[in-house]
Structure 1
């Protein structure tokens, strides 16, 4: 008789926390979008300075990539993330196909975040606080979910890759910090945000 697999509690709690933070940021951006639609001259609480604000992002074509405001994607995506985390805590076991689809969603979220980071820094020249909060939780979510799926074999890879993923899984906080530093350095080089805040 095989021993039941240990429940990934750290992953579950991380997904719930990231999901709640991401949902809140997406909800705030959605409210701001409604405010701008109702009154194009609305003074949004996220507009702190010329460098830090969300109006420019919300009004750009990049802010509605699929024909509707991006925050709606965030509300849906972070709700799914919370549901997966709660499901794990409740003892749920998901099939491989479910993990693969969820991982594809996380990869798509990271790809969108990378595009929006690039857009914010190199095209709009503004840092949106709610967007940055979304970036901050998407990055570790990507690493946690992807490394978990690699180490458990949900993503079929050779045993050597599974071992590497298992070793890296414990280093997700440091990997995330390294990603934050990379984004901060790029923003500093392009926007000189340290002196302009």
Structure 2
């Protein structure tokens, strides 16, 4: 194996940054939910307009899919990327099975976020600021962990696919931007965001 695969420093730095940003978004949403519980009928501080707001999302059933507020998942879950990234920077080497399990967690987060994006845009008709921060870090984090898992052989893949995953790591920013653009187009088509903002 090559050194970058053994000690993926760029991935580690990203995981720490993404985990910290995602955790802060989850913490902020949790505080907003507590504020709404303590003050029924109040508005959340992230409620900027009928379109851009957190309140409707937090108080909907989609905001507590598992019986408790979704941000609690973020408070617990975003610690993992921070710990994994920090451990790599400290010199830890993880086995392939670990990367497969970590990918399973990231894939679950990605799938949940995609579902929440659909619910937000097509059902609730809102764009939650802190939720969007979570989307921004979850999407590239999943792509990065997926490609890393493939390139190191944590997932069964032929050598050609592993090499392609290794090359695609350099294209992660573009992949993320294209994903954000797709979400923006869907939001514009459904919610007419530009008209609402201007």
Tell me the TM-score normalized by structure 2.
Answer: 0.96
Secondary structure of 1:171's match? helix
> Quick one: structure 1 residues 3 and 69, their matched pair in 2 at CA, closer, same or farther if it must change by over 3 Å?
closer
| Cα deviation digits, residues 51-79 of structure 1 (max 9, x gap) | 00011000111111111111011111111
Q: Name 1:140's counterpart in structure 2.
A: 140
**Cα distance in structure 2, aligned partners of 1:47 and 1:53:** 4
> How many residues were matched structurally?
196
Q: Name 2:195's counterpart in structure 1.
A: 195
Secondary structure of 1:42's match? coil
Q: Which runs of 5+ in 1 are unaligned?
A: none
Q: Quote the RMSD (CA, aligned, Å).
A: 1.3
Secondary structure of 1:48's match? coil
Q: How does 1:120-135 map to 2 (within 5 A)?
A: 120-135=120-135
**Shift of residue 43, structure 1, vs aligned partner:** 2.4
| Cα deviation digits, residues 130-163 of structure 1 (max 9, x gap) | 0000000000000110001101111121111101
Q: Name 1:52's counterpart in structure 2.
A: 52
Q: Which runs of 5+ in 2 are unaligned?
A: none
On the 8 A contact 2:96/2:152 being kept in 1, the answer is: no
Q: Name 1:21's counterpart in structure 2.
A: 21
Secondary structure of 1:47's match? coil
Q: Displaced runs of 4+ in structure 1, greater than 3 A?
A: 2-6
Tell me the TM-score normalized by structure 1.
Answer: 0.96
Q: How does 1:160-171 map to 2 (within 5 A)?
A: 160-171=160-171
